[in-house]
Amino acid sequence: MDSATPSGEDDDWELCNDDGFVYKRKKRRLDPDAAAVAHVSSATDVDHLAALQQRRERKKRTLLKLKDQYQRELEQWDLLSSTLHAMEERTSRFRQEHERVPEQTAPLVSHSPTTKGKASVGGSLVDELLLQVEAQEAIIHDISNLCDIAEAMCHKQEQQVNQSLFDLPIWASPNELMQFLCDD
């Protein structure tokens, strides 16, 4: 519509559309110093975004590593729990067998008051004591196995803690240590 305006004058104006309201306004010109500052700030924004992305990736790797570690520990505790449960079942089975043996030998003892009966009482007592010793031996064996597993878990965890301490940058050469400190 403005055919009378020279073309050089149109370069100083820009069209703006604000929710259907169209208007002209003068173009904003940045001075060279402001343009340099804007460029630097955009570069720092990119660096900041890259640093955030690296931090997120590092957090993600750390969390996955922790998840794997906790998963292995849970599996080990499940193994210990199932072993302990099996040991308890065996102990209860031995107790039930121990209770059955006196019930089976008791009628023999009450019916024979002779010396032969005394020998069967002594034999049943020996059998009962033998069953108790076998049950105790099985319990001691199971507890020994549980202790071995717990000791192996503690040893492994101790090695991991020691290795994490040895991996610290403080043990590196002075040049590597300074580089590590300057990077963060």
* Residue 86 sits in the same domain as residue 137: yes
Task: Residue count of the chain, please give it.
Answer: 184
C-alpha separations of 107 from 20, 66, 103, 112, 121 in Å: 107, 63, 7, 9, 10
Task: Note whether 84 and 144 are same-domain residues.
Answer: yes
The pLDDT, as a whole number, for residue 108 is 46
Please tell me whether residues 132 and 88 are part of one structural domain.
yes
Q: Of 4-8, 23-27, 50-54, 124-128, where does the model show the most confidence? A: 50-54
In a domain, 135, yes or no: yes
Q: What's the mean pLDDT when you consider all of the chain?
A: 76
Residue 26's CB: how many other CB atoms inside 10 A? 8
Q: Which residues contact 180 (CB under 8 A, 6 or more apart)?
A: 169, 172
pLDDT of 83 reads: 82
Same domain, 140 and 84: yes
Please check whether residue 158 lies inside any domain of the structure. Answer: no
Q: At what angle do helices 32-111 and 115-166 cross, to 10 degrees?
A: 170
Which of the four pLDDT bands, split at 50, 70 and 90, describes residue 155? very high
Instruction: Please tell me whether residues 40 and 96 are part of one structural domain.
Output: no
DSSP SS3 for 23: strand
* Domains of the chain: total: 2
Global model pTM greater than 0.75: no
How confident is residue 36, by pLDDT bands cut at 50, 70 and 90? low
Q: Are residues 85 and 146 in the same domain?
A: yes
What pLDDT is stored for residue 4 in this prediction?
Answer: 47
Owning domain of residue 114? 80-152
Integer Cα distance of 131 and 137 in angstroms: 10
